[in-house]
Amino acid sequence: MILVVGGGQSGCQVTDELLSAGRDVWLSVGACAWFPRRYRGRDLLHWAKELGLLDQTVDSLPSPAARLACNPPISGNDGGHDCHPRWLAGRGTSVVGRLAAIEGTAARFERGVEDALSAGDAFAAEIMGRVDEFIAGHGIDAPEAEHREHGPSLIADTHEVDLHEHGITTILWASGFRPDYSWLDLDVADEYGWPIQQRGVSSHAGLYFVGVNWLHKRKSALFCGVGEDAEHVVSHLVERR
């Protein structure tokens, strides 16, 4: 049996694949939101592009710390499907709250897992509602919303689990990451660890960044967006020459 710590993209995708391999999984989650893989006949990224979400700039965020928010979990396996904690619970995953501590063989989890999952459900519902409004407002011929296997409507808190008693012999950490540019012998990062720059251009001559999360837009770290920032950086290099 395996304990996966982290309810973002990596944690949920790993859990999904472990379930497919016949393994029993516990999944410890935080407050990561989710959205559907497909909605009304299209991949959600198609609708995100149409709604202008991918072109939102970093200054539209409520705070600089928001850049550290997790990516909503989805899966590309088997043609793509939903892959959030409640969906995984419906397939046999034991979903628990955020891991608070491990003492000996006892793993302790924060309470409020249902509140966290409900917040994720609300985020997904808001996104789907915006798609519905966009379709109606633009007269788009799109199918009705697909039936969703949502998973259990209520997940009770489990405060403590004895790893030995439950046969949990492996813990997989999928708890995200933080940027670290300490290997550069320059003052390049802000208080959150992100590089200080303007659309990839730093204040240090010859130092540029591309592919960074929220470098300039929501899509800056995606294949569909990194090229725009790279073009801007190249233009700056050409001007300097």
Give the Cα separation of 145 and 131 in Å (integer). 10
Same structural domain for residues 145 and 225? no
pLDDT at 161: 96
Give the Cα separation of 241 and 61 in Å (integer). 34
pLDDT at 94: 96
pLDDT at 62: 93
Find the domain containing 55 and state its range.
Answer: 2-173
pLDDT at 177: 85
Same structural domain for residues 95 and 9? yes
pLDDT at 78: 87
pLDDT at 122: 95
Give the Cα separation of 241 and 237 in Å (integer). 6
Residue by residue, pLDDT tens for the chain (241 residues) are 999 999 999 999 999 999 999 999 999 999 899 999 999 999 999 999 999 999 999 999 999 889 988 889 999 988 899 999 999 999 999 999 999 999 999 999 999 999 999 999 999 999 999 999 999 999 999 999 999 888 888 899 999 999 999 999 999 999 988 899 999 999 999 999 999 999 999 999 999 999 999 999 999 999 999 999 999 999 999 988 7
> Which of 141, 173, 205 marks a domain boundary?
173
pLDDT at 191: 92
CA nearest to 7, candidates 105, 88, 115, 63: 88
What is the model's pTM?
Answer: 0.89
Same structural domain for residues 192 and 165? no
Same structural domain for residues 133 and 165? yes
> Which of 152, 173, 194 marks a domain boundary?
173
Total domain count, the chain = 2
Which class for 224: exposed (0-12), middle (13-18), buried (19 or more C-beta within 10 A)? exposed
